Amino acid sequence: MGFPSILYAVCMPHTEIITIRPDDDRYPELLKRIADPPAQLYCLGNITLLNSFCVGVVGTRKASDYGRQATADIAGQLAQNGVTIVSGLATGIDSVAHRAALDAKGNTIAVFGTGLADDDIFPVDNVRLAHEIVAAGGLLISEYEEGVHGQPWTFPMRNRIISGLSRGIVVVEADKKSGSLITAKAALDQDRDVFAVPGSIYWPRSVGSNWLIQQGARPVLCAADILESYKMRQIPLPEAALSTSDPVQESILALLRQNGPTHLDTLASQTGFDTPRTMAAIAMLELFSAIQHMGGGIYKTTQ
């Protein structure tokens, strides 16, 4: 496998990949019920997580600052409340979700579209994150044996496992052709809940998540929305609060207070930040009701 043996000897009871098939009592019950369950699961780490209460968190690989912050808050607070965070170890939203669970001292499962060997992992930048997940008591799983590298079809296939393990799926940011929408469709086919974090109507990577809400997905503003839907809120969660430590948000608020209602193009040019960063900051400010869209791309402050 290539993981440091000393690290495993200290942190994990299992150092070898375990194969679990549907006739094994350890095979996850939820996953067994889907139309096309994997014929085998290759597992490395804490296999008891396979039958824990799981929620999948997925989204774009090209996450905005808004998407990253929303993912970190939601996944971290879910993990603090005993929810196992399931995602696909991709760059962007997936990696932030896994990291948030680790930072919260919670549990996370990474579902691979490759084999579990270091040389198989894609993206290669996440080999270290995979090590950290196992060392922290998390779990890596795949239906592919060691030596299988990622192919265009293996990653969409693994998405049915992410949803199949989970009671519900949270889509944070997704464009109209995002693989996250494949996960959401799989979740619907498997009779799972689908949640989505709303985003700016001007941000292309919010098109998919906003569309899901239009189609009936439950809008999510914080982890409490998910926990309360399952009646499993266990510890007090902080109320969502606007953090104006973000320089783009601070600039936007200052301009709106000084100039009154302003078009987003003007905000983008006057803040000095690029349009995607400005739009992400606007979406975050809207989420916390600090600003309001008046129509036609014109915003005003509510404070």
Domain holding 290, by residue range, is: 247-301
Please state the separation of Cα 108 from the chain's center in Å: 11
Number of domains in the chain: 2
Assess whether 78 and 194 both reside in one domain.
yes
Quick check: is 261 in a domain? yes
Assess whether 95 and 155 both reside in one domain.
yes
As a whole number of Å, the CA-based R_g of the chain is 20
pLDDT value of residue 14: 45
Quick check: is 236 in a domain? no
Assess whether 185 and 123 both reside in one domain.
yes
Instruction: Answer with the one of 182, 202, 229 that is the final residue of a domain.
Output: 229
Contact of 160 with 90, CB cutoff 8 Å: no
Assess whether 41 and 94 both reside in one domain.
yes
Assess whether 225 and 280 both reside in one domain.
no
Assess whether 224 and 255 both reside in one domain.
no
Q: Beta strands of 157-252 (E only): which ranges?
A: 168-171, 193-196, 218-219
Instruction: Answer with the one of 175, 202, 229 that is the final residue of a domain.
Output: 229
Assess whether 263 and 121 both reside in one domain.
no
CA angle in degrees (0–180, nearest 5) for 134-100-93? 100
Higher pLDDT, 189 or 286: 189
- CATH number for the domain that contains residue 211: 3.40.50.450
pLDDT tens figures, 130-152: 999 999 999 999 999 888 887 87
pTM score of the predicted model: 0.77
Q: Is 107 exposed, middle or buried (0-12, 13-18, 19+ CB in 10 A)?
A: buried
Provide the 3-class DSSP secondary structure of residue 35: coil
Assess whether 37 and 149 both reside in one domain.
yes
Residue 119's pLDDT band (boundaries 50, 70, 90)?
Answer: confident
CA–CA separation, 296 vs 128, rounded Å?
45
pLDDT tens figures, 19-32: 999 999 999 999 99
- CATH number for the domain that contains residue 280: 1.10.10.10
CA–CA separation, 105 vs 166, rounded Å?
20
Quick check: is 234 in a domain? no
